[in-house]
Each structure stands twice: as C-alpha cells, then as structure tokens.
C-alpha cells in the first residue's frame, strides 16, 4: 500500500500538462503515493458537475488532507465563485505561503532575493460582499476580523521562528483604512510583543514597501499582509526572480493544505507542451516538506538546481527551448 494519498487536481489550460510532469518527478524521486485524481474549474463543468468545485473534490481534500492543484479557469460571468476562493473559505486555508528566491542559473536584475510572502487568505476585499447602492453606484466590502488577523499573524511568526527567519514586515495602508488595516496591524503587533519578541518586526505602508521591493529586494525577509495586497505583491515578487514559472505556493489551514503554483492556467500556451512545470514541482517540494518527506524534497531541489545551473534544458519562459516533458526528463535524469 502506498505510504501517502494525495488529491490531485489537474485543473485547466496548462494545468494537466504541468501536473503530469510534476507527478512523474515526485514519483521518480521515490514518493510512495496513491493519487486521488478529481476535477475542479472548467474541467469540472465539462465533466458534468454543477459547480466548479464539486462536492466530491472538496470531500476528498477534507479526507486526505493534502492536495496538489494545477491552475484552474473560473468561467467568467456565469455566476460561479472562483474555485480558489471557495477552496480557501470552505477548507479554512487561511495562510497562503509563497517563497520567492533567486534560482541558480536564472539571470535577473537582482541577486540575493530570498523572501517569503505570507498572505491572509480568507477575508479582506476577497470576501465577495458587493452591493449596488443605486444604479451606477456599487460598493465592495473589506472585512477584517480579529480572529483571522491574529491567526495569520501567529502563523507568520511561528513560520519565521521554525525557518530561522529574522524579520517580519507588515505591508499595510492603515493611514487610509484605519479600522480594517488598523486591526491587521494591531493584531500583528500584539503577537510580536506577547509571543515572538525575538523576531524583528516592522510596519511599512504598502506603496513605499513596493518601492523598497524593487530597489532593495534582498533586504526583505518575511512579508505579512492581507488578502488583496498579498495577491498583487506575490506577482510583483515573482517578476523579480524570473516570472510566474518559478514561484511555488501553498494554502495552509489547520486541517488541510493545498499546494499550487502562483501562475494561472495560461490559455495562451495551453496544449502546446511548452509550459514550465517548475513552479508546480517547487510547490510539490513544499508539499513533501509539509508531509515530512524532507529527503525526497531535497533530492528534487538538488536536481532542479543542477538542471537550472547547467542551463541546457530550460523552458521558453526562461530563455530556453525545452518543452514541459523534456524539462521533467532532465530533472529525473539528475536524480538517477
Ligand atoms: P497566467 O498566470 O495564466 O498567465 C500570465 C502569463 O504568464 C501568460 O503569458 C502565460 O503564458 C505565462 N505563464 C504562466 N504560467 C506559466 C508557466 N508555467 N510556464 C510558462 N509561462 C507561463 O495569468 P492570466 O493569463 O491572468 O490568467 C489565466 C487564467 O488563469 C484566468 O482564467 C485566471 O482566472 C486563472 N488563474 C488561476 C489561478 C489558480 O488557479 N491558482 C491563478 C491565477 C490565475
């Protein structure tokens, strides 16, 4: 019997291509796993389910506790709530964790970047509470609760402590959103003072913070922020180290975790076999560490570092010519 069971959601667009490659890499590295493959996104509707996040898929993640997910396309204007927002809310995956670092062999404008973005995943402006006050005037409600603000702050400080990180910077706009961002800040400040005074702590207004990110990104350690800011800043950070093809991510809750790349379903290159699977493979490495399979995780990381350093088998987004499967083959060859 396989040691682990993991829910696998191939997703849409390039999702099936990058999940196939990732699955091969994980198995070749020695992971004993039974994949429980289930749909989400446009694929779920095509297969006859009435929701982009079928109840069966949700129940499987609850039961198996870990999922590896390809990107999905949420059909626009058809009344479906985004799969990702549903997953995060229904499974209470309150922390999005996105490590962003320079990779060997990938030339970028900056060196020495090694930051982690911790994003609150369940509320803020993503609560989806919108109203038409009168025709032509709409509002979108930003929600902040003390429970969620405290929970994400405690998660970030605990993560920093476990990973030997030194400093947490909160990006905020409490000068304008005095109550909601004010609550976020107060909660983080309280956890710092009462539980983790040993971790350095600073607060930066997000606009100034974004400037610092592109002036001196190597000075940033752990960034903590609410939902929308985290979404935007994650892509900015991805751009600093080589783009969306090289940034992994995880959505963590107390009872389940879903691992996925930051990038979307890339319809422009879907089905062509050219997508870079590295971001999902890196998300797989985060998943392995979460499952205490550190040795297998290290084997894969060493292999992709070697392939990138060599620079002979890179996908197009990184300036090479290799296809998705070719990149995975090169990585697997390094593990033999
Ligand atoms: P995208 O990330 O799909 O694509 C942005 C650009 O990056 C495109 O040019 C694409 O070709 C390129 N790119 C992305 N991933 C790549 C990879 N692995 N290798 C090589 N190039 C890659 O963003 P988008 O175009 O804004 O969104 C497309 C769809 O994806 C939308 O339906 C959106 O809702 C969805 N989306 C899903 C997720 C998710 O499921 N986690 C995240 C973001 C966007």
Is the separation of the CB atoms in 213 and 232 below 8 Å? no
Banded pLDDT at 77 (limits 50, 70, 90): low
H helical segments located in the chain? 15-28, 42-46, 55-64, 83-90, 146-162, 180-194, 206-215, 227-241, 278-290, 294-310, 324-334
- 260-276 confidence digits (pLDDT tens): 998 999 999 999 999 99
Average pLDDT over residues 177-194: 98
- 102-151 confidence digits (pLDDT tens): 999 888 889 999 999 999 999 999 888 899 999 999 999 999 999 999 99
- Residue 229 CA to ligand 1 center (angstroms) comes to 18
Rounded alpha-carbon distances, angstroms, from residue 138 to 82, 130, 141, 209? 20, 7, 10, 29
Average pLDDT over residues 327-332: 97
Q: What is the pLDDT of residue 262?
A: 87
Instruction: Count CB neighbours of 204 within 10 A.
Output: 18
* SS percent in the chain: helix, strand, coil, step 5: 45, 20, 35
DSSP state of 163: T
Banded pLDDT at 78 (limits 50, 70, 90): low
C-beta of 142 in contact with ligand 1 (< 6 A): no
Banded pLDDT at 243 (limits 50, 70, 90): confident
Share of the chain above pLDDT 70, in %: 99
Evaluated on CA atoms 85, 88, 94, 95, the torsion sign reads negative
Q: How far apart are CA 228 and CA 124, in angstroms?
A: 7
pTM of the model: 0.92
In sequence order, the β-bridge partners of residue 252 are: 95, 257
Share of the chain above pLDDT 90, in %: 89
C-beta of 52 in contact with ligand 1 (< 6 A): no
Q: Worst-scoring range by mean pLDDT, 9-18, 236-245, 282-291?
A: 236-245
Is the separation of the CB atoms in 239 and 213 below 8 Å? no
Average pLDDT over residues 305-334: 95
Q: Is the pLDDT of residue 85 over 80?
A: yes
C-beta of 72 in contact with ligand 1 (< 6 A): yes
Q: How far apart are CA 325 and CA 276, in angstroms?
A: 9
Average pLDDT over residues 147-163: 97
CA atoms in the 13 A half-sphere facing the CB of 253: 19
Q: Is the pLDDT of residue 284 over 90?
A: yes
Q: Is the pLDDT of residue 185 over 90?
A: yes
Q: How far apart are CA 289 and CA 164, in angstroms?
A: 15
Average pLDDT over residues 191-216: 97
Give me the catalytic one of 65, 69, 142, 173: 173
Q: Which atom of ligand 1 is nearest to the CA of 277?
A: 18
């Amino acid at each position: 019997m396989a040691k682990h069971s993991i829910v696998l959601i191939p997703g849409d667009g390039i999702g099936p291509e990058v999940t196939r490659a990732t699955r091969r890499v994980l198995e070749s590295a020695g992971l004993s796993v039974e994949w429980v493959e289930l749909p989400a996104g446009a694929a779920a509707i095509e297969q006859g389910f009435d929701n982009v996040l079928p109840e069966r898929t949700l129940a499987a993640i609850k039961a198996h506790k870990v999922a590896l997910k390809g990107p999905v396309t949420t059909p626009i204007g058809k009344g479906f709530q985004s799969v990702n927002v549903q997953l995060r809310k229904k499974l209470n995956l309150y922390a999005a964790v996105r490590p962003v670092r320079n990779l060997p062999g990938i030339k970028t404008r900056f060196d020495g970047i090694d930051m982690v973005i911790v994003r609150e995943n369940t509320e803020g402006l993503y609560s989806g509470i919108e109203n038409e006050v009168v025709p032509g005037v709409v509002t979108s409600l930003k929600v902040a609760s003390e429970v969620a603000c405290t929970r994400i702050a405690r998660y970030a400080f605990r993560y920093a402590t476990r990973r030997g990180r030194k400093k947490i910077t909160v990006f905020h706009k409490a000068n304008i959103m005095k109550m909601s961002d004010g609550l976020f800040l107060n909660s983080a400040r309280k956890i710092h003072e009462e539980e983790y005074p040993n971790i350095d702590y600073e607060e930066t207004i997000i606009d100034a913070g974004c400037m610092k990110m592109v002036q001196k990104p190597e000075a940033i350690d752990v960034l903590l922020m609410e939902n929308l800011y985290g979404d935007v800043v994650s892509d900015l950070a991805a751009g600093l180290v080589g783009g969306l093809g090289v940034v992994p991510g995880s959505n963590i809750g107390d009872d389940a975790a879903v691992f996925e790349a930051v990038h979307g379903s890339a319809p422009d290159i879907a089905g062509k076999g050219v997508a870079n699977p590295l971001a999902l493979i890196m998300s797989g490495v985060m998943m392995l560490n979460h499952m205490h399979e550190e040795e297998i995780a290290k084997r894969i990381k060493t292999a992709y570092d070697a392939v990138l350093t060599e620079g002979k088998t890179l996908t197009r987004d990184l300036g090479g010519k290799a296809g998705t499967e070719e990149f995975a083959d090169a990585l697997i060859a390094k593990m033999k």
